[in-house]
Amino acid sequence: MSFLGEMIPDPVGVVLGTGYMRFESACGIDGLAKVTGDRLDILAVAARTTGKGQFRKFITLAKQEFKTVCVWEDWNPILGPALARYGFTPEKEIQADGEVVDGWRWDADK
């Protein structure tokens, strides 16, 4: 089983056809993510208890399980610098529907 725990369909994700699912990880991070093969796309995360290193642990586990990890829609001013420290680089991607998304990307083979 994945460190993400059970992933369940998100009603809005279903209606919009995004493929993003809800998760509640054992390390204390909940959110929305999409798994495509060996790639994890993260749209939203929330720590159940802030300031306890749960996000750092979450990213460590993600990097152990997936070859590519992307974090989209960075609106938190402390998220970008943290992801940069964890080896992520800024990323801009054009989705299949033409939407341009900004975020962060980590690849195991870099």
pLDDT in tens, 55-77: 999 999 999 999 999 999 888 89
Domain assignment present for 54 = yes
Domain that holds residue 12: 8-107
Total domains in the chain come to 1
Task: Read off the CATH number of the domain in which 90 is found.
Answer: 3.40.630.30
Residue 77: phi and psi, rounded to 5, are -65, -15
Rounded-to-integer distance, Cα 90 and Cα 22, Å: 24
To the nearest 10°, the Cα dihedral for 22, 62, 34, 51? 40
What is the rounded CA–CA span in Å between residue 30 and residue 109?
27
Confirm whether 2 is domain-assigned. no
Q: Which residues of the chain have pLDDT under 50?
A: none
Residue 101 tokens, joined: 């998304």
Structure-block tokens of residue 94: 């054009």
| pLDDT at 96 (0 to 100) | 80
For strand 39-47 and strand 68-72, is the pairing parallel, antiparallel, or unpaired? parallel
